[in-house]
Structure 1
């Protein structure tokens, strides 16, 4: 079955639920890791593995219902490809953000922290912004190429890509406007100051657009020119 087989309400609930579970995993594993170790590298590893793992689970579980975007930048890319209508794309983005924020609140409740928080973790500067362009570019490219060549592998490709990108990008690869917004509501290991959000959001959408342009060309076979041999 494909997402087109499901009605709008189920698709929107799947997007909200998936994004909530994704953010709950990001924030919750960050809190757990920070509680268990004072070593930042070990804490980051403890944050990375659950995030990559839950992406495999969520995309496999909810992908057939909604397409498993869980990310406004991904929805934006499919909107530019004209594979999702504007009203539905806007609805996807709205429930993704709402679901992400809810996921943050649930993580706080699980760890008995104040539900309403605002992050004080600074994440700004050229390096961070370029990292978010690179992270989102790679994520969208991974999805587009995965769908083209081996759609059944997309859950693993995305999970593995994000696991890697946590470590090779200076920003630890947010690569997701809904996740970035949700993480501004937690003053824990995975947080980002609300004032730093605009730079991240702009770069994430820019990275998605660049990936769409390049991979749309790259994944389209050109006319093969045969070598001309003298008679």
Structure 2
């Protein structure tokens, strides 16, 4: 990532987030146009999103780190893997890219460029789900980078595919994507009034994962010292 200048990294983040959101929103529209079965529609939405994440992280990871997510960028800024001066630019690029992705999906399906969502997603269970989903996402990224960096695209894609199904919120786990999804009144939407609860849960989950895994992924020394003392 260090070999690419900031403008190129920001374009990669904007393009990646736009493509991700276009996939989420577009596959949701396509799924509901093909079937009235909500479970089957969600499956179509899930598989497209997970597959696209693998592709985007593989091809854009070397350029920008392939965050596509303000919560992930925050974690890397806090751990100093992303220069703090670049954090604001990353978030702006992700946000603009996300909105562009919604517009692209709407254009593909002949819908108004932007619509305010009426999809209700609120309450303790939804917020807990988002916190847990984001915690798991960040944990997978941090552990993947530590132990099997080349597998990270697959780990993230597979995690999100699973999290669509085991969380009540269908695992947004991304503040920029959540904002973009508030601008589509389709299968994947969320009411703008519900965004704050999702954002708070996502940021809390990300920071909690950083704190735990910063400790967890460091080799312990107590057992070694103890063994040496016995000798």
Q: Which residue of 2 aligns with 1:65?
A: 63
- The Cα of 1:62 is off from its aligned counterpart by 0.3
5+ residue gaps, structure 2: none
| Alpha-carbon separation, structure 1, partners of 2:227 and 2:2 | 44
> Would the alpha carbon gap of residues 230 and 218 (structure 1) be closer, same or farther in structure 2, given more than 3 Å must change?
closer
**Aligned with 1:175 (options 173, 176, 198):** 173
Secondary structure at 1:10 match in 2: helix
5+ residue gaps, structure 1: none
**Aligned with 1:33 (options 31, 34, 44):** 31
Normalization by structure 2: what TM-score? 0.97
CA contact (8 A) 2:98 2:176 kept: yes
> CA deviation digits over 1:123-152, x for unaligned, max 9?
000000000000000000000000000000
| Alpha-carbon separation, structure 2, partners of 1:36 and 1:185 | 22
**Aligned with 2:4 (options 3, 6, 25):** 6
- The Cα of 1:177 is off from its aligned counterpart by 0.3
Q: Which residue of 2 aligns with 1:143?
A: 141
- The Cα of 1:84 is off from its aligned counterpart by 1.5
CA contact (8 A) 2:102 2:114 kept: no
| Alpha-carbon separation, structure 2, partners of 1:209 and 1:228 | 36
Aligned length, in residue pairs: 229
- The Cα of 1:229 is off from its aligned counterpart by 10
Structure 2 residue 107 is the aligned partner of structure 1 residue 113: no
- The Cα of 1:227 is off from its aligned counterpart by 4.7
> CA deviation digits over 1:179-218, x for unaligned, max 9?
0000000000000000000000011000000000000000
| Alpha-carbon separation, structure 1, partners of 2:102 and 2:230 | 69
Secondary structure at 2:68 match in 1: coil
| Alpha-carbon separation, structure 2, partners of 1:178 and 1:164 | 20
Q: Which residue of 2 aligns with 1:211?
A: 209
Q: Which residue of 1 aligns with 2:132?
A: 134
Q: Which residue of 1 aligns with 2:159?
A: 161
Structure 2 residue 190 is the aligned partner of structure 1 residue 192: yes
After TM superposition, the structure 1 stretch with the greater mean CA deviation from structure 2, 97-106 or 85-94, is 85-94
Structure 2 residue 15 is the aligned partner of structure 1 residue 17: yes
| Alpha-carbon separation, structure 1, partners of 2:79 and 2:161 | 27
Secondary structure at 1:175 match in 2: coil
- The Cα of 1:86 is off from its aligned counterpart by 2.1
| Alpha-carbon separation, structure 2, partners of 1:41 and 1:151 | 33
CA RMSD of aligned residues (A): 1.3
| Alpha-carbon separation, structure 2, partners of 1:230 and 1:194 | 61
